[in-house]
Amino acid sequence: MIKITMIVLALLVAAQTQDMKKKQYVTQLATPHVSVAGAKTMPVQLRFSIEPEMHINSNHPKTENLIPTKLVLDLPTDLSVVKTTYPPGKDFSFAFDPNEKLNVYSGEFPITLQVRPAHGASAGTFKVHGELQDQACNDRACFPPKKLPVEFEVTVLKPKPQPRRR
């Protein structure tokens, strides 16, 4: 009877560990549709939400052994990102090391991209895919790094014709 109880307990712990490995602690919030014309640059603000009681390292953690949050995009050939802006993190200390402050994101945070159509880009709507790489932690432990699928759309409009000079 004790053997069966131990086996059942071991299976429950293993199942819970697998669930924690699969669980995403960060989600992408709705991204407004963006339209851009000609060679103009347009901001795209991606917003993310972190579960309560959790945090992730900022894009610039204070120590090199911490995994930074990073957005990696697979862009269509008709678009380019000319700048990616991460918000500053907030410095927090945690019970496991109250003397060291970690630079983290919690709650909601944005990542802003400056998107520009390529020269000669076709008009149309382009879907951009990518992933947010992060490592979620609570005040007791950090979990394995995750890759959250990210996507948004950008519509490239035909540039307005320039008036002819006489």
pLDDT of residue 96: 75
Percent pLDDT > 90 in the chain is 61
User: Looking at residues 82-104, what average pLDDT do you find?
Assistant: 90
Residue 154 vs residue 13, higher pLDDT: 154
Question: Can you tell me the mean pLDDT for 140-150?
Answer: 93
Q: In the structure, what pLDDT confidence band is assigned to residue 91 with cuts at 50, 70 and 90?
A: very high
| All domains in the chain, ordered by first residue | 25-157 (2.60.40.1250)
pLDDT for 95: 78
pLDDT at 119: 87
Q: pLDDT tens for residues 9-53? A: 434 333 344 444 568 999 999 998 899 987 899 999 999 999 999
Task: Over range 65-75, report the average pLDDT.
Answer: 95
Structure tokens at 68: 């930074």
pTM summary value: 0.81
